[in-house]
Amino acid sequence: MSAWNYSGDNINIVYVAGAVVAISVLAVVVKKTRKREPVQYPRDTVMVHQFGKGSRGPSISPFVIKLETYLRMANIQYKPVYDRQMSTKGKIPWIEYNEDKIADSQLSIEYLNTKFDINLNSNLDSMELAIGRAFSKMAEENLYWYLVLQRSTYDKHNTIFREVGLNSFIIKILRWKASKASYYHGIGRHTETETTSIMEKDVKAISDFLGRKKFFMGDAPSEVDCVMFGQLSQFVWQMPGSQGEKCITEKYKNIEEYCVRMRDLYWPDWEECTLKKKKDSAST
C-alpha cells in the first residue's frame, strides 16, 4: 500500500493536529509582538540585531561575524543587540542606523560603505575583485550549507545548539527547517559523504589560493576577509569534532593560522564576547 493512502479519519487528525500547532505558535508570536515596545537606540551608532552569543565565539552565525568584523575593520561605531528580532526578510543579522533599517549582512555592508564613504577594496584591481567575489560566493553558498547540515543533521548530539542553551523543542524545529531548506537548495539531497567531499574540495581551493599570504588577497585586508573569516572561523572554533574542523586543523593549517591572525587583529576581545566568559564570571 502506498504511504499516501491515508484513511479520511487519519487525514482529518493530521489536519487538526497541524492546525493546533500552527495556531499555538501564532499565538505565542502575536503575544510576543504585542509586548515588544519601541526601543530608543543611541544616535549615530550601528545596531546589529542578532541571536545571542556563541559558546566558542561571539556568534554561531558566520554572517554576524562577517558583519561585525567589517564594522571593526572600517572603524564604525556599533553595538550588538541580542533580541533575536528578525528583519523584514525574516533573517538575522540586520542593522539599524538612526532611522534606517537594512536587512541582510551584505546589503548592510554596501549601505554602510555608501553612508560612511568606506572602501576596504581600494587596494584591489578589477581582476582581484572578481576573484574575491567568486571565493566569497563559494564560501557563503557551499561552505555555509555544509555548516548548516553539520550542525542540524550530521551532529547527532546537537553540540553547538546545546552549548548555546537551546531546548529540545527549538532544536527539532531548527533541524526540520534546515533539512527542508537544504533540500530545496539542492545540497541537502546529497549524502553526508558527498557533501563532505564538496566541502573538502572547497577548503583545499581556499588553502591553495591563500598560500602564505597575510590576508586573503595579499598583504592588506579587504572586504573579502570579512566574508572568509566569518565562514572559516566557524569551522576552526565552532564545529567541534566535525570533518570540517579536522579538515582545516589537520590538513590546511594555513587557514587556521589565517583565522587566528584575523581574530587577534580585529577581535582581541573574542573570549570576552562568548557565553563561556559569561559563565566563568557567574561562577566566580
Are residues 69 and 181 located together in one domain of the fold? Answer: no
DSSP symbol at 174: H
Q: Facing residues of 103 across strands?
A: 94
Domain boundary among 94, 119, 144: 119
Region 62-70 average pLDDT: 98
Last-in-domain residue among 119, 139, 158: 119
Residue 73 and residue 152 in one domain = no
Least confident of 10-19, 74-83, 229-238, 261-270: 10-19
* Overall domain count for the chain: 2
Query: What are φ and ψ of residue 48, in 5° steps?
Result: -105, 105
Look up the domain containing 80 and give its range. Answer: 46-119
Report yes or no on 184 lying in a domain. yes
Question: Which residue bears the cell 487528525?
Answer: 13
Check pLDDT > 70 for residue 282.
no
Of 21-35, 103-117, 210-224, least confident by mean pLDDT is: 21-35
Tell me the pLDDT tens digit for each residue of 140-196.
Answer: 999 999 999 999 999 999 999 999 999 999 999 999 999 999 999 999 999 999 999
Say yes or no to pLDDT of 11 above 90: no
- What is the Cα–Cα distance from 274 to 57, expressed in whole angstroms? 5
Sequence-ordered strand ranges (E) for the chain: 46-49, 78-81, 94-97, 100-103
